[in-house]
Amino acid sequence: MHIGIAGNIGCGKTTLTRLLAEHYGWTPKYEAVTYNPYLEDYYKDIPRWSYNLETYFLAQRFKDVLEIASSRDVIIQDRTLQEGVHIFVANNREQGNLSERDYDTYMQLYNLMMSMVNPPDLLIYLKSSVPHLVAQIQKRGRDYEQTISLEYLSGLNRHYEEWIAAYKGRLLTIDADSLDFEHNPEDFASITDKIDAELYGLFK
């Protein structure tokens, strides 16, 4: 089984992935942020490095999905293949950071990959407001993230809402603003209760 965690920068995807993996005994699959060779350059000059960054992420996420498909474990993934296209690439295209030529090439790669893999069996969306995201980004203190603009985060959030509204698969939306699932056991239990009902409830 493949569980995907979706959400904007700073919403708590990695933390929730770790906690749910520990709680259920699932295998976590984390996004390759620390080792991305383009990330710091990207936040310094987004138009110059958008295509490079997004293509690198696409290749890594496709590799992850192929590994997930061949595994017998229940795997929980920190950010999904689809988000790269429907959120980040769409936002960069809209803001003029990605040329139509690069966008068309990227979409050819993406569509070929999607013809070979399936979406997650369950998508968990961590919904967050921009002020909450900003507070979390500042709190974790990654240097390359401190220059992210409010316009950029707002654009990503809008694309997330549009994507989720049209999403056709099994979906669970969590309001991350109102929860401290890392430090409050009751908040974390409210999430696992919803997951249990979705995956293991009657008539499922």
Going by C-alpha positions, the residue among 33, 32, 45 that lies closest to residue 147 is 45
pLDDT of residue 82: 92
Average pLDDT, whole number, for the chain?
90
The answer, yes or no, to whether residue 103 has pLDDT greater than 50, is yes
Distance CA 118, CA 170 (A): 13
Distance CA 173, CA 123 (A): 8
| Rg, Å, the chain Cα set | 17
β-bridge mates for residue 123, sequence order: 4, 171
Instruction: Note whether 76 and 3 are within 8 A (CB).
Output: yes
Average pLDDT over residues 32-40: 75
Kindly name the residue from 41, 64, 73, 78 that is annotated as catalytic.
78
pTM reported for the whole predicted model = 0.87
Cα–Cα distance measured from residue 126 to residue 148, given in angstroms and rounded to the nearest whole number: 19
Taking only the tens place, the pLDDT of each residue in 123-163 is 999 999 999 998 888 887 677 677 677 888 999 999 999 99
Decide if pLDDT at 35 tops 80.
no
Tell me the C-alpha distance between 172 and 201, whole Å: 14
pLDDT of 202 higher than 70: no
**What per-residue confidence (pLDDT) applies to 34?**
57
* 78 given a catalytic annotation: yes
| CA pair distance 40, 52, nearest whole angstrom | 12
